[in-house]
Chain A
Amino acid sequence: MADAPQIPDEAEVRARWGAFAWTKENAEKAKAVIARYPAGRQRSAVMPLLDLAQRQVGAETQTQGWLPVPVIEYVAAELDMPFIRAYEVATFYTMYNLVPVGRYHVQVCGTTPCLLRGSDDVMAACKNRGMVKGKTTPDGLFTLTEVECMGTCTNAPMVQINDDNYEDLDFDSMARILDDLAAGKSPKAGTQNPKRHTSEPEGGPTTLKDMVKANHDYRKEW
């Protein structure tokens, strides 16, 4: 509980973000999102809109973005819902950042499959660059968070950085990705194992081999 984020609601935050409003494109997007739901049920749009707002804050601050309280209130007001209801949503989901983060939000998975496949090395590569869990580096580039399973266990260990997953990592590949990001390049997302494209087994299929060429009916063979 003690390490639950302390939500900043100071005068500075209000002063900086009190006048938050959609950019032109985002206003369009917000309208499109709200239109997906039946009239009177506009509240259902709260999650996509919070995400959109977080992205806009990110674009304005050159970071992954976060949700200052006035921005949450802006979204709630737009959807005609009480502030606390939007606030509940924002605090429930870990994908909404309640405190400012860096340019890249490095979320290292530390759950069992990733742990067994070497997430400690991935973590070490991050620490090697001066990152500290739960903190942003002084240059404002990286924020490190350890998270639970992201559902990419077949390609463990993995990290999620902003909108991309980087998979099948080890110390070196992680270090390289971080270097590339720091240099302003965009490293290839997805698996870092040259022998894989996505989550297929390395070196070709090991089961259901007949399916490779055609839609094979296995039922006769049972």
Chain B
Amino acid sequence: MPKVTVDGVELDVPQGATVLQACELAGKEIPRFCYHERLSIAGNCRMCLVEVSPGPPKPQASCALPTAEGQVIKTDSPMVKKAREGVMEFLLINHPLDCPICDQGGECDLQDQSVAYGRGATRYDENKRAVTEKYMGPIVKTVMTRCIQCTRCVRFAEEVAGVEDIGAIYRGENMQITSYLERAVASELSGNVVDLCPVGALTSKPYAFEARPWELAKTLGIDMMDAVGTNVRIDARGRQVLRVLPRVNDDVNEEWASDKTRHHVDGLTRRRLDRPYVRKDGQLVEASWAEAFDAIKVAKAGKSVAAIAGDLVDCETMFAAKALVNALGSDLLEGRQTGLDYDVSSLSAVNFNTGIAAAENADVILLVGTNLRWEAPLINTRIRKAVWKKGAKVFAIGPEKDQTYKVSWLGDDASLVGKLPAAALDALKGAERPLIILGGGGLAVPGVHGAAIALAKSVNAVKDGWNGFSVVHMAASRMGGLMLGYAQPGGIKDVVAAKPKLAFFLGADEVDFTGFAKTLKVYVGHHGDKGAHAADVILPAAAWTEKDFTTVNTEGRVQRSEKAVFAPGDAREDWSIFRALADALGVNVGFDSFDQCRAAMIAAVPALGQEGLADYGWSAPKLPAKPEARAIPSPIKDFYLTNAICRASPTMQRCSEELVHGVDFAEAAE
């Protein structure tokens, strides 16, 4: 622990800390452009200059200088002031002062730091250099003349996204940042470079010229696009959500978000269900709430009701629906809408037990039936970190898909899980922290779940301080749903077999509706997608940005999200729909307000009342462990179109066409 002095204050800093970190510990602000905590150190912008003695009598780049015992650091000396002014002036030499038409305006590091540390006027009156735009894909808009060559975007693409598509070409004055041959950056994390870029060189294409940051109301939310539970900030103006940005949470998403998380938002205003509908003579026609409730009442379903939860619903919604179904005398609840029927007798056997953050400490990893890059992009970045930074080895069983790191593919035959090739088995056995990740494709093949658990036992993956058996889910509603009992032993087959007269589909679009031909299908959701087309009654509900809710991510982390805007038209928050329906059907659900609904939910499942990791303990059930010899399927066909909101989003459609189906838009964009 070296002892250093920053501006006259003595303090101890951790071994290996840089001078910049020492200054931050001392509460000093150090301006910077290229330095970023989560990227490697480049030391090329020179904005972080400070005076350090002992050392050469000139300003030093603090971000790249390690602290040493007895260092005296000055951040407020005349030399530092002059150095900062000089660097700022150089940076602005070639920077166009086009802030009035720049989307970064108001949240631009260059703007802020030039106000705080710059000279106020330039002495340069030659021509500025200009750089042509570089096409980077559907998410990132470029104005490369504004680039200050900090190389954060290059380092992000290489180090975090694992897609080496961005680079700096030419040199000196002619240096330009570009994607390879100006093609789209093929990463599902490309939107993060927009946040990283300290200037307006990389901005968000779908959000271009939409709003200024100070016009936006900011709400803290939890993303529902996948089961990672990315912490986000919802930026809205008036009744419309304009963008979603990640918030820092080191345990979950660090400070990244996938492109789906960021850019599905334009789907929130399209194809919305904003009034009830009732099917009359085979046609869905607009109706009032009363008419819709009547249509449900006349079905006289009695006890014969069921509820099926989709991927996007929250715990309160599921609880309210459950309360109604229970009050009607049924317990037919299911959340695995595509028909999965894995055993849920112990939640610990279907949970990402290792923890998202801890996954990066694994040394040998086996992926079983998961395309992690698409199923949970932000867990994949952790695995990439384990591989890239710490040299972990990865084996995989399942259909081969590029994961951005080196994977030894063992084949896609499910029976391999039961008889792992010796190389993989020995590696897992010899590992200190082995990790087995079971994904949706694996869960779909009978026997794989049990075989994976048996494998975890045989390689001693679960031990003191380390649980190396993890299941990764794709649906944000999954763990919450399982905690609330949304699971039948035989999955949705059991619900179909029970032939319910009335079924509620909570935003469930991926269901095979043919089994429900005789059922009165009530779709409670927000988008006019597959579920709504199949429905007999549609009750318009709120999307995830339009309600307060609780959700549980794939590692069992209970998180709360807040309401950013109101649901459109006649749409209502889900809990109130079930409350009103209870009245219409003459039963009592036991709550009259959202707070009561949440309280009742917590009373029923106390773990949902506590934000943070729910404790499922560890008990692995004994399951059949003889997987059939057949190919493991890949559950996600198209990363960008996995749910109703994405499918309604023009940006996601464009991403899908361009990045998944290879349609060329580069020319048209010029």
The proximity string for B residues 169-181 relative to A, scoring 1 for CB distances below 8 Å and 0 otherwise, is 1110010000111
Contact A91–B129 (Cβ < 8 Å): no
Interface centre among A1, A4, A92 (most CB of B within 10 A): A1
Contact B169–A87 (Cβ < 8 Å): yes
> Which B residues lie within 8 Å of A9 (CB)?
181
Expressed in whole angstroms, the minimum distance between the Cβ of A17 and any Cβ of chain B is 14
Answer whether A87 and B174 are a contact pair too, CB < 8 Å, given A1-B131, A1-B132.
no
Any B CB within 8 A of the CB of A108: no
Contact A91–B169 (Cβ < 8 Å): yes
Q: Which of A56-64, A78-86, A149-157, A165-173 lies at the interface with chain B?
A: A78-86
Contact B132–A84 (Cβ < 8 Å): no
> Which B residues lie within 8 Å of A85 (CB)?
164, 167
Contact B169–A69 (Cβ < 8 Å): no
Expressed in whole angstroms, the minimum distance between the Cβ of B157 and any Cβ of chain A is 9
Contact B181–A69 (Cβ < 8 Å): yes
Answer whether A1 and B180 are a contact pair too, CB < 8 Å, given A82-B164, A91-B170.
no
> Which B residues lie within 8 Å of A82 (CB)?
164-165, 180
Any A CB within 8 A of the CB of B168: yes
Any B CB within 8 A of the CB of A163: no
CA distance A9 to B132 in the complex (A): 17
Contact A1–B169 (Cβ < 8 Å): no
Contact B164–A4 (Cβ < 8 Å): no
> Which B residues lie within 8 Å of A92 (CB)?
169-171
Any B CB within 8 A of the CB of A28: no
The proximity string for A residues 83-113 relative to B, scoring 1 for CB distances below 8 Å and 0 otherwise, is 1110110011000000000000000000000
Expressed in whole angstroms, the minimum distance between the Cβ of B405 and any Cβ of chain A is 13
Expressed in whole angstroms, the minimum distance between the Cβ of A7 and any Cβ of chain B is 8
Query: Residue on B with the closest CB to A5?
Result: B170
Any A CB within 8 A of the CB of B130: yes
Instruction: For chain A, residues 1 to 50, give those with C-beta under 8 angstroms from any C-beta of chain B.
Output: 1, 4, 7, 9
Contact B167–A4 (Cβ < 8 Å): no
The proximity string for B residues 121-135 relative to A, scoring 1 for CB distances below 8 Å and 0 otherwise, is 000000001111000
Query: Residue on A with the closest CB to B167?
Result: A84
CA distance A85 to B132 in the complex (A): 21
Contact A84–B170 (Cβ < 8 Å): no
Expressed in whole angstroms, the minimum distance between the Cβ of A159 and any Cβ of chain B is 23
CA distance A69 to B167 in the complex (A): 15
Any A CB within 8 A of the CB of B166: yes
Expressed in whole angstroms, the minimum distance between the Cβ of B665 and any Cβ of chain A is 17
Contact A87–B170 (Cβ < 8 Å): no
Contact B165–A84 (Cβ < 8 Å): yes
> Which A residues lie within 8 Å of B169 (CB)?
87-88, 91-92
CA distance A85 to B168 in the complex (A): 9
CA distance A1 to B131 in the complex (A): 7
Contact B168–A88 (Cβ < 8 Å): yes
Answer whether A87 and B167 are a contact pair too, CB < 8 Å, given A1-B129, A9-B181.
yes
Contact A4–B180 (Cβ < 8 Å): no
Query: Residue on A with the closest CB to B179?
Result: A84
The proximity string for B residues 48-78 relative to A, scoring 1 for CB distances below 8 Å and 0 otherwise, is 0000000000000000000000000000000
Contact B165–A4 (Cβ < 8 Å): no
Expressed in whole angstroms, the minimum distance between the Cβ of A78 and any Cβ of chain B is 16
The proximity string for A residues 70-82 relative to B, scoring 1 for CB distances below 8 Å and 0 otherwise, is 0000000000001
CA distance A9 to B130 in the complex (A): 23
Contact A4–B166 (Cβ < 8 Å): no
Answer whether A87 and B180 are a contact pair too, CB < 8 Å, given A4-B170, A82-B164, A92-B170.
yes
Interface centre among B130, B169, B179 (most CB of A within 10 A): B169
CA distance A83 to B170 in the complex (A): 15
> Which A residues lie within 8 Å of B164 (CB)?
82, 84-85
> Which B residues lie within 8 Å of A83 (CB)?
180
CA distance A92 to B174 in the complex (A): 10
Instruction: For chain B, residues 167 to 204, give those with C-beta under 8 angstroms from any C-beta of chain A.
Output: 167-171, 174, 179-181
Expressed in whole angstroms, the minimum distance between the Cβ of B491 and any Cβ of chain A is 43
CA distance A69 to B174 in the complex (A): 20
Interface centre among A69, A84, A88, A91 (most CB of B within 10 A): A84
Contact A1–B167 (Cβ < 8 Å): no
CA distance A4 to B179 in the complex (A): 17
Contact of B174 among A4, A7, A88 (CB under 8 A): A4
Expressed in whole angstroms, the minimum distance between the Cβ of B172 and any Cβ of chain A is 9
Contact of A84 among B131, B174, B180 (CB under 8 A): B180
CA distance A84 to B180 in the complex (A): 5
> Which B residues lie within 8 Å of A1 (CB)?
129-132, 174
> Which A residues lie within 8 Å of B165 (CB)?
82, 84
Expressed in whole angstroms, the minimum distance between the Cβ of B144 and any Cβ of chain A is 10
Expressed in whole angstroms, the minimum distance between the Cβ of B429 and any Cβ of chain A is 26
CA distance A4 to B172 in the complex (A): 12
Expressed in whole angstroms, the minimum distance between the Cβ of B503 and any Cβ of chain A is 51
CA distance A83 to B166 in the complex (A): 10
CA distance A138 to B215 in the complex (A): 61
> Which A residues lie within 8 Å of B130 (CB)?
1
> Which B residues lie within 8 Å of A4 (CB)?
170, 174
> Which A residues lie within 8 Å of B132 (CB)?
1
> Which B residues lie within 8 Å of A87 (CB)?
167, 169, 180-181
CA distance A40 to B171 in the complex (A): 27
The proximity string for B residues 512-543 relative to A, scoring 1 for CB distances below 8 Å and 0 otherwise, is 00000000000000000000000000000000
CA distance A4 to B178 in the complex (A): 14
Interface centre among B129, B130, B131, B181 (most CB of A within 10 A): B181
> Which B residues lie within 8 Å of A88 (CB)?
167-169
Expressed in whole angstroms, the minimum distance between the Cβ of A72 and any Cβ of chain B is 10
CA distance A85 to B165 in the complex (A): 9
CA distance A92 to B167 in the complex (A): 12
Query: Residue on A with the closest CB to B130?
Result: A1
Expressed in whole angstroms, the minimum distance between the Cβ of A219 and any Cβ of chain B is 32
Expressed in whole angstroms, the minimum distance between the Cβ of A93 and any Cβ of chain B is 8
Instruction: For chain B, residues 477 to 501, give those with C-beta under 8 angstroms from any C-beta of chain A.
Output: none
Query: Residue on A with the closest CB to B171?
Result: A92
Query: Residue on B with the closest CB to A81?
Result: B164
Expressed in whole angstroms, the minimum distance between the Cβ of A13 and any Cβ of chain B is 11
CA distance A7 to B129 in the complex (A): 20
CA distance A53 to B164 in the complex (A): 23
> Which B residues lie within 8 Å of A69 (CB)?
181
CA distance A4 to B181 in the complex (A): 15
Expressed in whole angstroms, the minimum distance between the Cβ of A125 and any Cβ of chain B is 29
Expressed in whole angstroms, the minimum distance between the Cβ of B656 and any Cβ of chain A is 24
Expressed in whole angstroms, the minimum distance between the Cβ of A5 and any Cβ of chain B is 9
CA distance A82 to B154 in the complex (A): 13
> Which A residues lie within 8 Å of B180 (CB)?
82-84, 87
The proximity string for B residues 546-561 relative to A, scoring 1 for CB distances below 8 Å and 0 otherwise, is 0000000000000000
> Which A residues lie within 8 Å of B170 (CB)?
4, 91-92
CA distance A91 to B181 in the complex (A): 12
> Which B residues lie within 8 Å of A84 (CB)?
164-167, 179-180
Expressed in whole angstroms, the minimum distance between the Cβ of B116 and any Cβ of chain A is 30
CA distance A4 to B130 in the complex (A): 12
Query: Residue on A with the closest CB to B169?
Result: A91
Instruction: For chain B, residues 129 to 175, give those with C-beta under 8 angstroms from any C-beta of chain A.
Output: 129-132, 164-171, 174
CA distance A83 to B164 in the complex (A): 8
Closest 5 CB pairs of A and B: A82-B164, A84-B167, A91-B169, A84-B180, A88-B167
| New A-B pairs, 18, CB < 8 Å, besides A85-B164, A85-B167, A87-B169 | A1-B129, A1-B130, A1-B174, A4-B170, A82-B165, A82-B180, A83-B180, A84-B164, A84-B165, A84-B166, A84-B179, A84-B180, A87-B181, A88-B167, A91-B170, A91-B171, A92-B170, A92-B171
7 A-B interface contacts by CB (under 8 A):
A1-B132, A4-B174, A82-B180, A84-B164, A85-B167, A88-B167, A88-B169
Residues of B at the A interface (CB closer than 8 Å) are: 129-132, 164-171, 174, 179-181
Residues of A at the B interface (CB closer than 8 Å) are: 1, 4, 7, 9, 69, 82-85, 87-88, 91-92
